[in-house]
């Protein structure tokens, strides 16, 4: 057992920190509180930030040099995400493109597809969004009904996708669509579709936070060219599932780092209000602190497993459940402990604790739903890890 | 023994439901919440005033129907997330009607009729001196005054007692304090205004204790309505929504959480109605039972309305669907009118512990 | 709405209290701590206690005068149970006979059966136990496999029953046995079987508390006479389900009274150890206090519904879940709050709080399992109250 | 980075499992727990001593294998609810071996070899004066001394430091303190006995802090083993047990609780091994991580082992089936070696809060 980072990894972290010090001018929290910003200018800021990161070769780090990467390991990727979180850097607009589509193209795409799409994805000339979920297939993704019908050499896509993060600003969407209505898994194919065309309508979805970071997309005979089919016909499900697995590890250190920042804010608020010495408050705070540290321990373990060549299995469901439910406990407790000031509206006013608690409280509701709800994750653990039978 | 409401109160409750469903269905309520400046429908409040709702919380001798009737109405208001200062206004009316100060009766009448908005201003600003009443003037700053910016008069808690401050000619020196709950309009109000004492310190303390107790019961009744309707919406949604070829309502893990929701909701009903009945009939244990109801209702509603979002899945996280309106209301109501932690302490103290 | 008891009910309570003052010499807690007692002498003490209660006409109070009762209402029955609990009186050995078999005989038995069994049940000349559950049919009671086969006019019973409370001291057992293997519900009949015969073997089951209040019974061709069949052949399931419904209401006030006694003990212990003023302790204590009061509110509501002629429906599942899970939270918190002394072994030593916490902690584990586990209760609420569909 | 144990420790762990499964399967452990006077198998402890387990917790320089190896062994002991004072003995050995007092080395050796039972006596009686060491004698009363009645020597915490008291000729003046956990044998010991100082106040404090930390890690490792095995037993039982025509393992509500059990158990594993590794390798944050591990492991084990009883249904409540053995051990371990509440406070303090 060895939880030390290697000297090279430590060196990577030091360089990254220095780079962030030099290049990140304002934290994301400050940006979002700046009344001169609107949703569009914030996206533009993120685009510029991604270009900076890309120029410094921090985007797609795990890919080979040929595709702009450095062949970095999962550990370095995790360090990158941890440091970006600690520094409160903006999230890059193409994070779904980078984490899902990039690997899909590298492993399953054609040479032409890689050349055409990867560079513009990396430097954010084109923003990508993901077209997997549909209004009536969320948890049960394979029940999707959007269909792609042949039209000459090409395809025409009809149906509806939803929860497309960054959809309202995206140029392209990668879509799972049905090319065979009868084959549940084998009838799904993977297409790249430009959004700026007749037959594609993108509507923003307003979230409970008041923002509209998601969209829903209506396809009405939208054109998907044959050359923009990824893999073979009917390989879409397999590609999607493989690629979802590549997300592994990246968030293992970033999540506890994110909650450390929030915990520091909570402590500051409690200190300011003179409550930090109350035993009831300390007990609740202590629990939040140790839970986050246990989460970090799980993360280090996953990372160590990856580093020694073990693929993490469905145990990653444990991490998903843990961080998403913890985030709810944390913001919920903060609202309780800090008193009415913590309820002040999202991103409107500062509290003594310098965290937008009301916003976090609302936003934390999404984590247990997206990317496989807590219910689905528990099903996975019961069935695939504990091998409990299906009813 | 009987748990059902008597005929008069049952009729009041059902006619309130009818009225609210006609005049302020959730969709309308949401329009008011999201678009109006004041945060409530003035015409509708005037109509409620005409119908006698404004004086509902007074005793029957005073022309009201008492706390149980009030709780029944607030439950219905909770169900449609009825916007505005109904609870705060009723507390002010009750308080003014118990004062012997000459101005009090008139303001009580106007407030009850829905012609004037009067609410309590309690919480001192976190920094600065406590609010004082000296030389006929109120000086100090109050935060989280409900619907304070639009009030016609404020009942201000000061070191010297409870002071009625009519809106000054130039309007309030107020800053809006928008919270997580769009239905709630708080303001921080800075006072340097003329006012008149409606109750001196000891009398004020008694009145405010009464207001605290009724505020707790009223907020618990609102929470009851909110979680009751939220659970209904959730169960209905799980019946419609299909996954893996079956309505998700058939999945046992979801069933058990809905069952827990029912346990929480029905237990809240027992606690709230018992506390309200006690406030009318057995005042000796009403303080304890009010603390019990509020300390239970807050976390219960948070559980039910949080699960509502979870069980709605993706759409539960959208602005368009209703669950978030309930969750947000719940979070604010849980924190105010005696936060859970404070009510637990109240419960112990009223038991001599 | 009116939660007052009637003057008659208040009068009943006063008389009962006076009677208890005069007749209950030592509390049950004191008896169980008396090293001179063993399991048998404690049962004997309970038998004597039941006779006293019966002589004062407090047993089977709800039955008609003809059968020893006073035609008392559910409210009076609830008051009786509440006061017995407050006084910490011993439980009567025949409580299952009284609450289940008595009503079964009164409603479904023959005149001869009533005359033969009810008086001896009331004065505890015969102790009854219940033979419903089987090793492989617990939650799914209707899957029971014990069978009764005709033998001339009579029946021979073969099979195994389990969780028979008071079984080790019982004279008779009322048994659900299968008279038709193919009809799930209609193939079950209700028999009265003497235990002292060849073909019946009763073995005590040791519980996690160390006591053996339960037994398991092995039937190997045990004789059940035709005259001891209750109702018609095949009516057993219906009778059992009706009779289980008669339990309603009796515990509604007794449970919160029981936990009030424990809460008083907890407060005494906290006061003695100087912890009662700690905010973290007060928060936890406050939650226990208010939860018990909410339980009482539920109970009063159920009772008021019964008193005004409404039958409580499956909502009684809410009460079962509430008290059984509360009992676990209460003893668990007490062990945490009171420190190591609270862990001292069951019924061996007193703590400052004068409650046998370790015993309560273990015993509380049973409540969520017996009489329909918490899982079954939640199924009932989901399906019968919320009308959610079966998978 | 690597999470797996290195070869030596992995071998130690697997050979410990083999040994324990052969020599002390749960059935045998239960016989010792339920029937022996001492609460442990003396011959088996001597055998463990011969095999070097007694000095395991010493550093490699001192002939041990350190904390990580120790945790791995305790996890295995937890799995079979291995009875006796193994953890307490190891703490005493470590402590004695760090003392410079002349008697200490000899006692350390005998204790490590399984020839003498030495344990710590920490908690003063709730009434009476704190334990003192004056004029070469220890005077005072210690409660909850683990396996104290059968100890050959006790390491007594006094106001003057840590004092070694060999069993007096007439035996200890001890009263058994049986708890909910039959596997644990506590005694209250009244001292008026000759002893020798093995560490004076400051040095004693340092040694005891080390013992606290290692006790927390050791207890957490035991809890890990207990819940790990308890979950296995439970999942296996739900696969066998049928209701309504299907194995109860197919019911989603039960599946989700087992899934939560795995989450709790595997998270405990991460926390315990990280803390143990840190105690060997990065002592600066080992105190914090030990507090984290213990504060997490207690409630986690209580959840898993409590659910084990619930999911076993009726048989879970019997003496015959094993789940209660685990639950009882868990409750005691949760309360001792730093109760959850105290470890939460330790965690905050070690973070400077």
Q: How far is A280 from chain C (nearest CA, A)?
A: 4
Given a cut of 90, whether residue D282 has pLDDT beyond it is yes
Closest by Cβ to A1, choosing from D3, D247, D260: D3
Q: Residue A138: what pLDDT?
A: 83
A331-366 residues labelled b (16+ CB within 10 A) or e (exposed): bbbbbbbbbbbbbbbbbeeebbbbbbbbbbbbbbbb
pLDDT tens, C177-198?
A: 999 999 999 999 999 999 999 9
Given a cut of 70, whether residue C346 has pLDDT beyond it is no
Q: Which two tokens stand for residue D337?
A: 């070696």
Given a cut of 80, whether residue C353 has pLDDT beyond it is no
Please name the residues between 227 and 256 in chain D that touch chain C, using a CB distance below 8 Å. 242-245, 251, 253-254
- Is C292's Cβ below 8 Å from some Cβ in B? no
Pairing relation of β-strands A172-178 and A128-131?
parallel
Closest by Cβ to A297, choosing from D1, D274, D343: D274
Closest residue, chain D, to A307 (C-alpha): D1
Rounded CA gap, A219 and A223, in Å? 9
For D204-350, CATH number out of 3.40.50.620, 2.40.50.100, 1.20.140.10, 3.40.470.10 equals: 1.20.140.10
In CATH terms, the fold of domain A249-385 is: Butyryl-CoA Dehydrogenase, subunit A; domain 3 (1.20.140)
- Is D1's Cβ below 8 Å from some Cβ in A? yes
Q: Which of C326, C301, C328, C318 is nearest to C377 (CA)?
A: C318
* Residues of C carrying an active site annotation: 247
Model confidence at B69, pLDDT cuts 50, 70, 90, reads very high
pLDDT tens, B119-147?
A: 999 999 988 899 999 999 999 999 999 99
- Is A35's Cβ below 8 Å from some Cβ in C? no
Q: Which two tokens stand for residue A355?
A: 């965290």
Q: What's the burial of A29, exposed, middle or buried (CB within 10 Å: 0-12/13-18/19+)?
A: middle
Q: Are residues C389 and B252, on separate chains, in Cβ contact within 8 Å? A: no
Given a cut of 60, whether residue D34 has pLDDT beyond it is yes
- Is C322's Cβ below 8 Å from some Cβ in B? yes
Q: Residue C352: what pLDDT?
A: 59
Domain with residues C128-244, CATH architecture:
Beta Barrel (2.40)
Domain with residues A7-92, CATH architecture:
Orthogonal Bundle (1.10)
Q: Residue A347: what pLDDT?
A: 57
Closest residue, chain D, to C134 (C-alpha): D314
pLDDT tens, B30-43?
A: 999 999 999 999 99
Q: Are residues D319 and C210, on separate chains, in Cβ contact within 8 Å? A: yes
Residues of B in contact with D256 (CB under 8 A): 253
- Is C328's Cβ below 8 Å from some Cβ in D? yes
What ipTM was assigned to the predicted interfaces of this complex? Answer: 0.96
Q: Residue A11: what pLDDT?
A: 97
Given a cut of 80, whether residue A313 has pLDDT beyond it is no
Q: Are residues D1 and A2, on separate chains, in Cβ contact within 8 Å? A: yes
Sign of CA pseudo-dihedral C108, C112, C114, C118: negative
pLDDT tens, A140-187?
A: 899 999 999 999 999 999 999 999 999 999 999 999 999 999 999 999
D243-260 residues labelled b (16+ CB within 10 A) or e (exposed): beeebbbbbbbbbbbbbb
Q: Are residues D318 and C361, on separate chains, in Cβ contact within 8 Å? A: no
Q: Which of C344, A185, B173, C178 is nearest to D188 (CA)?
A: C344
Q: Is B296 within 8 Å of C294 (Cβ atoms)?
A: yes
Helices (H), C6-138: 7-23, 28-33, 39-55, 74-86, 95-96, 102-108, 111-122
Q: Which of C97, C373, C104 is nearest to C242 (CA)?
A: C104
Residues of C in contact with A280 (CB under 8 A): 279-280, 282-283
* CATH number assigned to the domain covering B7-112: 1.10.540.10
Q: Which of D147, D154, D160 is nearest to D92 (CA)?
A: D154
Rounded CA gap, B150 and B139, in Å? 19
- Is C268's Cβ below 8 Å from some Cβ in B? no
pLDDT tens, C54-82?
A: 999 999 999 999 998 999 999 999 999 99
pLDDT tens, C95-150?
A: 989 999 999 999 999 999 999 999 999 999 999 999 999 998 888 899 999 999 99
Q: Residue C344: what pLDDT?
A: 86
Q: Are residues B250 and C4, on separate chains, in Cβ contact within 8 Å? A: no
Rounded CA gap, B120 and C272, in Å? 42
Closest by Cβ to C163, choosing from D302, D314, D341: D314
Q: Residue D38: what pLDDT?
A: 92
- CA atoms within a 13 Å half-sphere pointing along the CA-CB vector of C128: 25
Question: Which subunits sit against B, judged by 3+ Cβ pairs under 8 A?
Answer: A, C, D
Residues of D in contact with B253 (CB under 8 A): 252-253, 255-256
**Mean residue pLDDT across chain C:** 93
- Is B277's Cβ below 8 Å from some Cβ in C? yes
Closest by Cβ to D341, choosing from A1, A283, A303: A283
Please name the residues between 53 and 92 in chain B that touch chain C, using a CB distance below 8 Å. 68
Backbone angles phi, psi at A180, to 5 degrees: -145, 120
pLDDT tens, B95-111?
A: 999 999 989 999 999 99
Domain ranges (residues) in chain A: 7-92, 128-244, 249-385
Sign of CA pseudo-dihedral C331, C324, C308, C64: negative
Q: Are residues C365 and D335, on separate chains, in Cβ contact within 8 Å? A: no
Closest residue, chain C, to D308 (C-alpha): C365
Q: How many CB atoms lie under 10 A from the CB of residue D326?
A: 28
Q: How far is B63 from chain C (nearest CA, A)?
A: 20
Residues of C in contact with D303 (CB under 8 A): none
- Is D321's Cβ below 8 Å from some Cβ in B? no
Residues of B in contact with D255 (CB under 8 A): 253
Closest by Cβ to C385, choosing from B262, B267, B295: B262
Instruction: Please enumerate in sequence order all residues whose Cβ is within 8 A of that of D211, keeping only pairs 6 or more positions apart, or say none.
Output: D91, D94, D95, D120
Closest residue, chain C, to D334 (C-alpha): C336
Closest by Cβ to C378, choosing from B259, B266, B277: B259
Model confidence at A246, pLDDT cuts 50, 70, 90, reads low
- Is C382's Cβ below 8 Å from some Cβ in B? yes
C55-64 residues labelled b (16+ CB within 10 A) or e (exposed): eeebbbbbbe
* pTM value surpassing 0.90: yes
Q: Kindly state the percentage of chain D with pLDDT values over 70.
A: 100
Given a cut of 60, whether residue A349 has pLDDT beyond it is no
Q: How many CB atoms lie under 10 A from the CB of residue D128?
A: 10
- Left, alpha or beta for D352 (phi > 0: left; psi -120 to 50: alpha)? left
Domain ranges (residues) in chain B: 7-112, 118-200, 204-350
Model confidence at A28, pLDDT cuts 50, 70, 90, reads very high
Q: Which two tokens stand for residue B131?
A: 């609010």
Q: Please tell me whether residue A85 adopts helix, strand or coil conformation.
A: helix
Q: Which of D247, D124, D235 is nearest to D188 (CA)?
A: D124
Q: Are residues B267 and C318, on separate chains, in Cβ contact within 8 Å? A: yes
Q: Roughly how many angstroms between the first and final C-alpha of chain C, as a whole number? A: 40
Closest residue, chain B, to C284 (C-alpha): B344
Q: Kindly state the percentage of chain A with pLDDT values over 90.
A: 83
Closest residue, chain A, to C284 (C-alpha): A280
Residues of B in contact with C291 (CB under 8 A): 296
Model confidence at A391, pLDDT cuts 50, 70, 90, reads confident
Q: Supply the Cα-derived Rg of chain A in whole angstroms.
A: 22
Rounded CA gap, C356 and C88, in Å? 13
> In the sheet that D118-121 helps form, which strands lie side by side, from edge to edge?
D118-121, D153-158, D161-166, D196-200
Size of interface A-C (CB pairs under 8 A): 14
Domain B118-200 homologous superfamily, CATH: Butyryl-CoA Dehydrogenase, subunit A, domain 2 (2.40.110.10)
Helices (H), chain A: 7-23, 28-33, 39-55, 74-86, 95-96, 102-108, 111-122, 236-245, 254-272, 279-307, 316-338, 357-367, 374-380
Closest residue, chain C, to D180 (C-alpha): C345
Q: Residue A68: what pLDDT?
A: 87
Rounded CA gap, D291 and D274, in Å? 12
Question: DSSP letter at C382?
Answer: I
Q: Which of D57, B141, B163, A280 is nearest to C284 (CA)?
A: A280
> What's the rounded mean pLDDT across residues C371-381?
94
Instruction: Please enumerate in sequence order all residues whose Cβ is within 8 A of that of A294, keeping only pairs 6 or more positions apart, or say none.
Output: A322, D267, D270, D271, D292, D296
Q: Please tell me whether residue C389 adopts helix, strand or coil conformation.
A: coil
- Annotate D147-167 with DSSP letters as a single string: TGGG-SEEEEEETTEEEEEEP
Q: Are residues B243 and A138, on separate chains, in Cβ contact within 8 Å? A: yes
Question: DSSP letter at A89?
Answer: P
Rounded CA gap, A92 and A60, in Å? 12
> What's the rounded mean pLDDT across residues A193-197?
97
pLDDT tens, C200-226?
A: 999 999 999 988 989 999 999 999 999
Q: Mutation test of the interface with chain A: which of B243, B316, B342, choosing the one with the most A Cβ atoms within 10 A?
A: B243
Closest residue, chain B, to A213 (C-alpha): B318
């Amino acid at each position: 057992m060895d939880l030390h980072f290697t000297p090279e990894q430590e060196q990577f972290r030091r360089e990254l920190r220095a780079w962030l010090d030099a290049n990140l001018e304002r934290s994301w929290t400050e940006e979002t509180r700046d009344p001169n910003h609107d949703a569009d200018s914030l996206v533009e800021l993120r685009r510029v930030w991604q270009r900076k990161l890309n120029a410094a070769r921090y985007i797609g780090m795990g890919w080979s040099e040929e595709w702009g990467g450095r062949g970095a390991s999962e550990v370095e990727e995790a360090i990158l995400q941890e440091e970006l979180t600690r520094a409160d850097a903006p999230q890059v607009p193409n994070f779904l493109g980078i984490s899902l589509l990039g690997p899909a193209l590298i492993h399953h795409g054609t040479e032409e597809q890689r050349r055409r799409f990867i560079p513009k994805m990396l430097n954010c000339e084109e923003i990508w969004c993901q077209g997997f979920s549909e209004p009536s297939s969320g948890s049960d993704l394979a029940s999707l009904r959007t269909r792609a019908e042949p039209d000459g050499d090409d395809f025409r896509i009809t149906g509806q996708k939803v929860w497309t993060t960054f959809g309202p600003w995206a140029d392209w969407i990668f879509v799972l669509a049905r090319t065979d209505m009868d084959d549940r898994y084998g009838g799904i194919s993977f297409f790249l579709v430009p959004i700026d065309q007749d037959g594609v309508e993108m509507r923003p979805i307003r979230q409970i936070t008041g923002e509209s970071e998601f969209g829903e997309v209506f396809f009405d005979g939208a054109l998907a060219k044959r050359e923009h089919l990824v893999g073979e016909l009917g390989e879409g499900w397999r590609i999607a599932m493989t690629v979802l697995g590549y997300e592994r590890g990246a968030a293992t250190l970033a999540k506890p780092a994110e909650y450390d920042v929030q915990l520091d804010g909570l402590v500051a608020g409690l200190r300011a209000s003179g409550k930090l010495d109350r035993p009831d408050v300390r007990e609740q705070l202590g629990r939040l602190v140790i839970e986050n540290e246990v989460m970090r321990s799980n993360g280090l373990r996953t990372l160590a497993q990856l580093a020694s060549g073990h693929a993490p299995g469905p145990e990653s469901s444990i991490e998903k459940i843990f961080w998403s439910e913890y985030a709810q406990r944390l913001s919920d407790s903060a609202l309780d402990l800090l008193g009415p000031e913590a309820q002040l509206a999202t991103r409107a006013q500062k509290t003594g604790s310098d965290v937008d608690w009301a916003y976090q409280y609302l936003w934390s509701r999404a984590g247990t739903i997206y990317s496989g709800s807590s219910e689905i994750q528990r099903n996975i653990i019961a069935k695939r890890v504990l091998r409990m039978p299906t009813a | 023994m009987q748990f059902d409401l008597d005929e008069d109160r049952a009729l009041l409750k059902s006619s309130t439901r009818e009225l609210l469903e006609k005049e302020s269905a959730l969709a309308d309520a949401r329009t008011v919440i999201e678009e109006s400046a004041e945060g409530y429908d003035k015409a509708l409040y005037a109509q409620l005033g005409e119908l006698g709702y404004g004086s509902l919380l007074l005793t029957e001798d005073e022309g009201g129907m008492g706390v149980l009737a009030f709780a029944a109405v607030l439950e219905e208001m909770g169900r449609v997330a009825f916007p505005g200062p109904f609870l705060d206004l009723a507390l002010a009316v009750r308080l003014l009607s118990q004062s012997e100060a000459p101005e009090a009766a008139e303001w009580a009448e106007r407030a009850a009729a829905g012609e004037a908005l009067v609410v309590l201003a309690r919480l001192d600003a976190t920094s600065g001196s406590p609010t004082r009443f000296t030389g006929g003037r109120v000086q100090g700053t109050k935060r989280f005054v409900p619907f304070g910016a639009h009030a016609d008069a404020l009942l201000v808690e000061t070191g010297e007692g409870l002071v009625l401050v009519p809106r000054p000619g130039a309007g309030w020196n107020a800053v809006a304090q928008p919270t997580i709950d769009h239905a709630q309009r708080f303001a921080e109000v800075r006072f340097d205004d003329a006012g008149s004492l409606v109750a001196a310190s000891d009398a004020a303390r008694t009145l405010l204790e009464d207001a605290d107790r009724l505020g707790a019961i009223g907020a618990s009744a609102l929470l009851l309505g909110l979680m009751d309707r939220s659970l209904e919406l959730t169960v209905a949604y799980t019946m419609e929504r299909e996954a893996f070829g079956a309505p998700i309502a058939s999945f046992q893990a979801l069933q058990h959480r809905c069952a827990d929701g029912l346990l929480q909701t029905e237990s809240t009903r027992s606690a709230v109605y018992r506390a309200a009945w006690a406030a009318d009939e057995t005042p000796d244990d009403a303080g304890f039972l009010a603390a019990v109801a509020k300390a239970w209702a807050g976390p219960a509603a948070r559980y039910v309305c949080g699960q509502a979002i979870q069980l709605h899945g993706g759409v539960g996280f959208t602005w368009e669907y209703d669950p978030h309106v309930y969750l947000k209301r719940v979070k604010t109501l849980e924190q105010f009118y005696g936060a859970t932690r404070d009510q637990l302490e109240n419960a112990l103290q009223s038991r001599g512990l």
